[in-house]
Amino acid sequence: MFATLDQIFIILRNLVLGYLPEVVRPYVSVVLSVVCIVAVFPGLFALTTVFERKGIARIQNRLGPNRVGPFGLLQPIADGIKSLTKEDIVPTTANGAIHFLAPLVLVVAVFMGFAVLPMGRNMVLVDMDCALLFYFAMGASSELAVFMAGWSSRNKYSLLGAMRAVAQMISYEVILLLSGLAVVMISGSLSLTKIVEAQNVYTGWFPHWFIFTPWGLAGFVMYAIAATAETNRSPFDLPEGESELVAGYHTEYSGFKFALFFLGEYLAMFSISGLGATLFLGGWSAPFSFLSWVPSWIWFFSKLMLSIFVFIWMRGTLPRLRQDQLMNFAWKFVLPFTLYNLMVTALWRFMGDGWERWVACTALVIAGYVLLGRISMRREHFGPRSYRYAE
């Protein structure tokens, strides 16, 4: 019964494929999976927008949207209709073709990332050997879309926003990759299904998720920081800092193109949360061995939604960073610590299975964190500024 429920989507797909001739089956199979991804994640996006608004409202002791439908749950439909009926304005001096292509490129690049995410047992669109590499390559191409948007708008705010975005995304892309690399070092594979299988092992009740190891926890925290920056979420939402840049790279977008940017941002959040869950939180595996009967895709999506909740929580808590703070944080603390964590991971890999590696690696991670935090994030005091002529 539960085994059927676990594989329900695979069974349904095979059922449909059974009615078709042998020749077209692989193509239809891919199309079906793609349609599911393209339908499910924008649906999640619609739900997330309303939950985000309600969550942030609650954090600020407000009520949030509660007018459209029961508890305001139909708000995304109203928003969708609104953005569809709005006039699509393209600036006369904009580079039309690129301006048009940018939101599409963004959404397509983000959707490509979902192709390699294992969303349940046997539920992966393409089971690549180098899935992680493919994912990062696709993640990097969304930067191109952001810069296309900013440059083609011919607006100084857009361009500034896009340049900030590119600087930020390139800086944090390195961290994202390096924190993911620790997982590859331990599991010995770039294939995401293999990485999940490596974590789907239990000692007693407890799973061997990478987050429960010292290097994994450190890697996960760094991954979460980099993921927040990579998806331009608060507190790293400088590319669209509305207080100084109007709306950053999508200032000159309106109507449905703007909605596509919005969609792209949230989809990137989903996919990066999904990857984080796959790398560190055991993907679709259950948190306790006695819960393994719950369908695997439920675990994947609950981990994903939990990450989204943390994203929203952080957005409701932290103020936006300044550009120099953002860069200093990336290059002076996060990147060195991630590199250091790689060395700790290597130590873990070669210390054998005993308890010694737990002690050694935990101590090293904590010591490294504290020391690096002290040294590199130290506040520098320059003393009062003196003016030669003005005084």
Partner 1 sequence: MLGEGILKGMAETARNFFGSYVSKERLTTVQYPEEREKLTETARVFPFLVYDEGMKNGEQAEWLAGLRCTSCQICEKECPPKCIFIEKSKDKKLDAFGKAQFYPVRFDIDVAVCMSCQICVEVCPFDSIKMDNQFELSTDDRFGGLLIPVEGLARSNSYYNTIHPTEAAAVDKHRQETKAMLAAKAKAAADAAAAKAAAKPGEGA
Q: H or E stretch including 388?
A: none
- Of 71-79, 88-96, 174-182, 316-324: span binding partner 1 (CB under 8 A): 316-324
List, in order, residues 6 or more apart from 364 with CB less than 8 Å away. Answer: 214, 344, 347
- Of 33-41, 97-105, 247-255, 372-380: span binding partner 1 (CB under 8 A): 372-380
The residue within the footprint of partner 1, chosen from 58, 82, 156, 322 (CB under 8 A), is 58
Q: Backbone dihedral region of 68: left (phi > 0), alpha (psi from -120 to 50 degrees) or beta?
A: beta
Q: Counting contacts by CB under 8 A, is residue 60 touching partner 1? A: yes
The residue within the footprint of partner 1, chosen from 81, 137, 318, 351 (CB under 8 A), is 318
d(CA 269, CA 49): 12
359 or 375, CB closer to partner 1? 375
- Of 98-106, 198-206, 270-278, 311-319: span binding partner 1 (CB under 8 A): 311-319
The DSSP letter of residue 331 is I
- Of 118-126, 131-139, 320-328, 373-381: span binding partner 1 (CB under 8 A): 373-381
The residue within the footprint of partner 1, chosen from 255, 316, 336, 368 (CB under 8 A), is 316
30 or 63, CB closer to partner 1? 63
**What one-letter code names the amino acid at 15?**
L
Q: Backbone dihedral region of 116: left (phi > 0), alpha (psi from -120 to 50 degrees) or beta?
A: alpha
- Of 60-68, 95-103, 192-200, 272-280: span binding partner 1 (CB under 8 A): 60-68
* Nearest approach, Cβ of residue 74 and partner 1 (Å): 18
Distances (CA, A) of 248 to 70, 150, 225: 34, 8, 21
The residue within the footprint of partner 1, chosen from 62, 82, 156, 322 (CB under 8 A), is 62
d(CA 303, CA 49): 18
List, in order, residues 6 or more apart from 384 with CB less than 8 Å away. Answer: none
185 or 314, CB closer to partner 1? 314
189 or 376, CB closer to partner 1? 376
Site for partner 1 in 320-339 (CB under 8 A): 333
Tell me, by CB under 8 A, how many residues bind partner 1: 18
Q: Counting contacts by CB under 8 A, is residue 103 touching partner 1? A: no
Whether residue 113 contacts residue 129, with contact meaning beta carbons closer than 8 Å, is answered with: no
* Nearest approach, Cβ of residue 78 and partner 1 (Å): 18
Q: Counting contacts by CB under 8 A, is residue 59 touching partner 1? A: yes
Half-sphere exposure of 23 (CA within 13 A, CB side): 0
Site for partner 1 in 205-244 (CB under 8 A): none
d(CA 374, CA 377): 6
d(CA 144, CA 314): 26
**What one-letter code names the amino acid at 65?**
P
28 or 56, CB closer to partner 1? 56
51 or 209, CB closer to partner 1? 51
Measured at the alpha carbon of residue 363, what is the angle toward residues 327 and 199, in degrees to the nearest 5?
Answer: 80
287 or 316, CB closer to partner 1? 316
The residue within the footprint of partner 1, chosen from 302, 317, 323, 325 (CB under 8 A), is 317
Q: Collapsing DSSP states into helix, strand and coil, what is residue 345?
A: helix
9 or 333, CB closer to partner 1? 333
Q: Counting contacts by CB under 8 A, is residue 314 touching partner 1? A: yes
Q: Select from 51, 112, 42 the least CA-distant residue to 260.
A: 42
Q: Backbone dihedral region of 94: left (phi > 0), alpha (psi from -120 to 50 degrees) or beta?
A: beta
Q: Counting contacts by CB under 8 A, is residue 386 touching partner 1? A: no
- Rounded-to-5 percentages of helix, strand, coil across the chain: 70, 0, 30
- Of 40-48, 57-65, 95-103, 254-262: span binding partner 1 (CB under 8 A): 57-65
Contacts with partner 1 by CB under 8 A lie at 55, 58-63, 313-314, 316-318, 333, 369-370, 373-374, 377
